[in-house]
């Protein structure tokens, strides 16, 4: 390997859209690595061509379906002194892309691992979102099935950090609607698509508004959803449940009281309604 890279596993970020974002170190690694493990070898060759780089090392396809099987051979090559470059189609390997099993195996075998930093769709969208960036979490792709997706979002109802998700364009509207149902339609969010590309766009607004936009417009391209965490000023669940019970005792319908209090306190309506029902049933049995 030429340059300052040592033998071992090298994770390299590739452009997420604009080829001009490729780093000089990525170009050097593509030209000099003895082995290049790529998610899609055809896309890798196209990238190299656009960068004016000739890949001279052995090219190996490593994707979700074969990474576990290929990891041992790649680790063996690195152990014998080869520089093994690992790249995904776009962005950083291991982040919703292949690479994790290779790093896991390398760590277990004591093989050096280094990273060539670069573009990241998750961080780019977070920076564009206008939402708090001091604390955030990356949740990857939500479950595809509606029931599993609802359960996953319910588990995140109390998450105070900004949340970042990837999503396919044909599921965007349904996912935003499910988020609005789980966390409230007023929760601030942003949808970024085609980052660094010609038609890059970021839409910001409440989840309900974004869900309606996605349903009407059917936006295309690579999608990142960023959602604000549960507001710090949200009232505690116990206090809100107690207020709901008092309003119900005064004659108000439980669903009406819950809908109003959930919006005011910044609590998920479904979670609050379940807590109110549990509290009512508990009081009735004593």
154-177 residue pLDDT tens: 889 889 999 999 999 999 999 999
pLDDT at residue 264 above 80?
no
Determine which of 77-81, 97-101, 124-128, 262-266 has the lowest per-residue pLDDT on average. Answer: 262-266
CA distance 269 to 263: 8
In this predicted structure, what is the pLDDT of residue 266?
A: 75
- Measured from the Cβ of residue 59, the count of other Cβ atoms closer than 10 Å reads 16
pTM recorded for the entire structure = 0.80
Rounded to the nearest integer, the mean pLDDT of the chain is 93
Instruction: Give the confidence band of 4 by pLDDT, cuts at 50, 70, 90.
Output: low
In this predicted structure, what is the pLDDT of residue 270?
A: 87
Instruction: Give the confidence band of 3 by pLDDT, cuts at 50, 70, 90.
Output: low
Query: Token pair 């071992």 is at which residue?
Result: 8
Instruction: Give the confidence band of 2 by pLDDT, cuts at 50, 70, 90.
Output: very low
**Residues 15-59 pLDDT 10s:** 999 999 999 999 999 999 999 999 999 999 999 999 999 999 999
Please compute the mean of the pLDDT values over residues 90-100 and round it to a whole number: 94
Could you tell me the maximum CA-CA distance found in the chain, to the nearest angstrom? 78
Instruction: Give the confidence band of 284 by pLDDT, cuts at 50, 70, 90.
Output: low
Structure tokens at 241: 């449940």
Determine which of 31-35, 123-127, 264-268 has the lowest per-residue pLDDT on average. Answer: 264-268
pLDDT at residue 96 above 70?
yes
Q: Is 201 helix (H, G, I), strand (E, B) or coil?
A: strand
Structure tokens at 276: 């109110």
Distances in Å between the Cα of 107 and the Cα atoms of 10, 95, 151, 169, 253 are 13, 17, 33, 36, 58
Q: Could you give phi then psi for residue 155, rounded to 5 degrees? A: -70, -20
Q: Which residues contact 153 (CB under 8 A, 6 or more apart)?
A: 142, 178, 179, 181, 182, 183
In this predicted structure, what is the pLDDT of residue 31?
A: 96
- The percent of residues in the chain predicted with pLDDT above 70, rounded, is 96
Instruction: Give the confidence band of 1 by pLDDT, cuts at 50, 70, 90.
Output: very low
Nearest one of 46, 8, 6, 53 to 26, comparing CA atoms: 53
Instruction: Give the confidence band of 127 by pLDDT, cuts at 50, 70, 90.
Output: very high
Strands 8-12 and 83-87: parallel
């Amino acid at each position: 390997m030429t340059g300052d890279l040592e033998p071992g596993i090298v994770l390299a970020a590739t452009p997420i859209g604009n080829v001009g974002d490729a780093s000089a170190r990525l170009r050097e690694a593509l030209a000099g690595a003895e082995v290049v493990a790529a998610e899609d070898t055809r896309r890798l060759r196209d990238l190299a061509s656009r960068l004016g780089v000739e890949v001279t090392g052995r090219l190996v396809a490593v994707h979700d379906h074969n990474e576990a099987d290929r990891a041992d051979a790649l680790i063996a090559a690195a152990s014998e002194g080869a520089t093994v470059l690992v790249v995904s189609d776009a962005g950083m390997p291991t982040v919703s892309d292949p690479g994790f099993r290779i790093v896991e195996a390398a760590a277990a075998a004591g093989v050096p691992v280094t990273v060539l930093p670069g573009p990241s769709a998750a961080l780019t969208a977070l920076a564009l979102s206008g939402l708090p960036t001091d604390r955030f979490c990356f949740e990857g792709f939500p479950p595809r099935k509606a029931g599993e997706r609802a359960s996953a979002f319910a588990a995140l109802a109390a998450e105070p950090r900004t949340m970042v998700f990837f999503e396919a364009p044909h599921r965007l509207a349904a996912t935003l609607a499910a988020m609005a149902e789980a966390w409230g339609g007023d929760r601030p969010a942003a949808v970024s698509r085609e980052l660094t590309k010609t038609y890059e766009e970021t839409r910001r607004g409440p989840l309900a508004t974004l869900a309606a936009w996605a349903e009407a417009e059917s936006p295309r391209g690579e999608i990142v959803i960023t959602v604000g965490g549960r507001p710090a000023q949200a009232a505690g669940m116990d206090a809100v449940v107690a207020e709901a019970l008092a309003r119900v005792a005064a004659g108000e319908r439980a669903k009406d009281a819950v809908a109003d209090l959930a919006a005011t306190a910044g609590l998920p309506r479904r979670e609050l309604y379940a807590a109110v029902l549990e509290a009512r049933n508990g009081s009735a049995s004593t």
